[in-house]
Structure 1
Amino acid sequence: MTEYIATTPGVYPLPDWAKDDLADLKGHQKHDLVDGDEGEEVVAVYDEAREEVLDRQQSAGLDRVVEGQLRWDDMLAHPLAVHDAVETRGIVRYYDNNNFYREPVVTDELTFDGDVAGELEAASEFADDDSLQAVVPGPYSLADLATDEYYGDDAAFLDAVADFLAGEIEAFPEVETLFVLEPSLVENAPGEGEDERASEAVDTVANAVGSDTDVVVHTYWGALDEKVHAHLLDADFDALGYDFVSNSEDNLYNINEYGTKDSIAAGVVDGQNTLVEDSEAISERADWLVENTPAADFETVYLTPNTELFYLPYSTFEEKLAALGEATDLAEVKA
């Protein structure tokens, strides 16, 4: 019988009070104090906010909880933006929306940093070992968001980013699940040859965790190109994520035509729209997915928002968590 797991791709909005507190600290604006060496007062704000969002996830009944990535002002570019071998330069549009990040320019070797591992260690104090989920940008997306001025070759740079992420992941505390976020595989799809390298880079990252950790590669903002989808399935991970909010038909086609992993992540909650879905409607999306993939017999379906959640007002974010938790309970009952 299929197991349904309620979770999210992380990268949450800051609680409103935390935004206000950070604004009061030296006139803080976005990016100003997130460079890897924040002062004690700033750290204290993030610590309290982390505890709050972990509590919100647990109260909503989510099966996996994330640290929240509240310090990630640069969104998925964050692990590079705070690295000593990287210069942050101009402000760049984050994919095709009204959010912006600092362009990370790699000017030296990407050695171990430990920033994300430190966040997870802090989160592990408030989450059970069997519920903690890590979140990292995928290697292809992180390389796509960055500029290389050191490695000198796209293939070498992608390999270096994958090795860097693998090293960061190896330092993680024990986690139940790892979500690897790869929107660039849809938004800036790799071409011939590059699609195989992207799959190999994902494989490098996925194999950096222990055998007891399930790895979910989550793509969003549409559907993967057929060849990219096929190559990605060659990588060694447990579940592939599909966006059933933005493009349900093409994602369904990929699954039915080319198969998928034994488990999937189903993006059934809109991570960008402020309209809060009814829990019954979310559950019905999960039912529709199972009914329309007759050849698949999924071991696990991770029910999740289709994208990161930092786009949402904090109160809407809380409501969406509650609806997702309730919908997953409904899906389990129907199963």
Structure 2
Amino acid sequence: MSRIATTPGLLPSPVAPDDGGGGPTPVVAADSAVRDAHLAAQRDADLDRVVEGQAGWWDGIVHPLVAHDNVARGPLAHSTAVARGVYRRPVVAGPLTFDGGLGADLAAVADRTASLQAVVPGPYTLSTLATDDHYGDPAEFQAAIAAFLADELAALPDAVATVFVLEPSLIAAPPGDGADERASDAIDTVAAAVTDADVVVHTYGGALDEKVHAHLLDAAIDAVGYDLIADHEDAAYLVGEYGTADSIALGVANARTPAVDAPATLRERVDWFDDRTPNDFATVYTTTDSVLATLPQSRLVAQLRALGAATTPQS
């Protein structure tokens, strides 16, 4: 069993600064500086997979949708699937055509690491966090989001080794009968676009409903992520009772609090899960329970170092 230290991305980004003359500093310059700092922090922590950091994702997990020309920022909305709980709801007013934003972000760092990991919001989560003013049917809307994400992922640089698909709404707003199967189909569409990297669907905020979990396993993905901070017992039950993919991601570090657990504690949580499930996992992605957007910078660095140390072989 290989243990890989990584994160689900969305590392903390500062509020767009003021240049002292009444106008904001160009966002691209701010993004570049924060991206450099994020890459350096991950390298220093010896993470096995490195994310671009999503410094330009000012709208959090919904950013790839909001950045589209046919999507507007709507009113403030609340969801536990969003790091800070509050976000600007995307309003889709036209067709979700390819725009290349995800690929462009990753291309900016592709030659700076040999272990690049892409981060993308899942199609089900985006469909629950957005408003449809164009497609007119929930199933068609979700399928359109999945096709949009698939096109974006198909254009990723070859350097990408892993793709984390973030699906917190599978727990925060679980799909009901019929909708759970459609959510799995949408995730499968996204995963099918990735041909040369492992696809991890990371869920967090609790444990998956049994039926939702079963349908998720029907998608052609390489790993499912389980939040051991929010609900370790039910996560172990799901895997022990119903199985999972060949590999797994375990959220063993708490990204929602400034407290940082010791590397030994993170290792013990992985060992605990391994002892209580019958699977012989090919890879365990050792990661945080959720995205890291709310951590202060000093705690971010400490959290990354703990994750890196947790997968270092012990003598």
Q: Same fold (TM over 0.5)?
A: yes
One of 183, 192, 195 as aligned partner of 2:168: 183
Name the CA distance, whole Å, in 1 between partners of 2:70 and 2:294. Answer: 29
> What corresponds to 1:110 in structure 2?
96
Name structure 2 gaps, 5 residues minimum: none
Give the letter for the 1:142 counterpart. L
Deviations 1:201-240 (A, max 9, x none): 0000001112x30000000000000000000000001000
Partner SS, residue 105 of structure 1:
strand
> What corresponds to 2:105 in structure 1?
119
Q: TM-score, length-normalised on structure 2?
A: 0.95
**C-alpha deviation, 1:98, in angstroms:** 4.5
**C-alpha deviation, 1:27, in angstroms:** 5.5
The answer as to 2:295 corresponding to 1:309 is no
Name the CA distance, whole Å, in 2 between partners of 1:112 and 1:53. Answer: 27
The answer as to 2:260 corresponding to 1:276 is yes
One of 14, 18, 24 as aligned partner of 2:19: 24
One of 271, 274, 281 as aligned partner of 1:290: 274
Aligned length: 313
The answer as to 2:205 corresponding to 1:206 is no
Name the CA distance, whole Å, in 1 between partners of 2:176 and 2:182. Answer: 10
Give the letter for the 1:123 counterpart. V
One of 257, 273, 280 as aligned partner of 2:241: 257
**C-alpha deviation, 1:110, in angstroms:** 0.4
**C-alpha deviation, 1:99, in angstroms:** 3.7
Q: TM-score, length-normalised on structure 1?
A: 0.90
Deviations 1:60-83 (A, max 9, x none): 010000000111121111011111
> What corresponds to 1:152 in structure 2?
136
Name the CA distance, whole Å, in 1 between partners of 2:167 and 2:228. Answer: 15
Please list, as runs of the form range in 1=range in 2, the aligned pairs for 1:230-245 lying within 5 A after superposition: 230-245=214-229
**Root mean square deviation, CA, Å:** 1.6
> What corresponds to 1:82 in structure 2?
67
Deviations 1:228-285 (A, max 9, x none): 0000000001000000000001111000000001100000000101111111111111
Partner SS, residue 246 of structure 1:
helix
Deviations 1:62-119 (A, max 9, x none): 0000000111121111011111111112122242775422111001100011111111
Per the alignment, do residues 280 and 166 of structure 1 end up closer, same or farther by CA in structure 2, a change over 3 Å counting?
same
User: Is the 8 Å Cα contact of residues 51 and 126 (structure 1) preserved in structure 2?
Assistant: no
Give the letter for the 1:312 counterpart. L
Percent identity between the two aligned chains: 50
Per the alignment, do residues 26 and 88 of structure 1 end up closer, same or farther by CA in structure 2, a change over 3 Å counting?
farther
Partner SS, residue 24 of structure 1:
coil
Deviations 1:159-194 (A, max 9, x none): 000000001111110200000000000000000000
> What corresponds to 1:36 in structure 2?
none
Partner SS, residue 148 of structure 2:
helix
Per the alignment, do residues 120 and 103 of structure 1 end up closer, same or farther by CA in structure 2, a change over 3 Å counting?
same
Name the CA distance, whole Å, in 2 between partners of 1:94 and 1:167. Answer: 27
Partner SS, residue 230 of structure 2:
coil
The answer as to 2:202 corresponding to 1:218 is yes
Partner SS, residue 261 of structure 1:
coil
Name structure 1 gaps, 5 residues minimum: 34-38
One of 86, 100, 121 as aligned partner of 1:137: 121
Runs of 4+ in 1 over 4 A off after TM superposition: 25-28
> What corresponds to 2:6 in structure 1?
7
Deviates more, 1:162-171 or 1:85-94: 85-94
One of 212, 215, 223 as aligned partner of 1:228: 212
Partner SS, residue 220 of structure 2:
coil
The answer as to 2:191 corresponding to 1:192 is no
Partner SS, residue 143 of structure 2:
helix
User: Is the 8 Å Cα contact of residues 27 and 56 (structure 2) preserved in structure 1?
Assistant: no
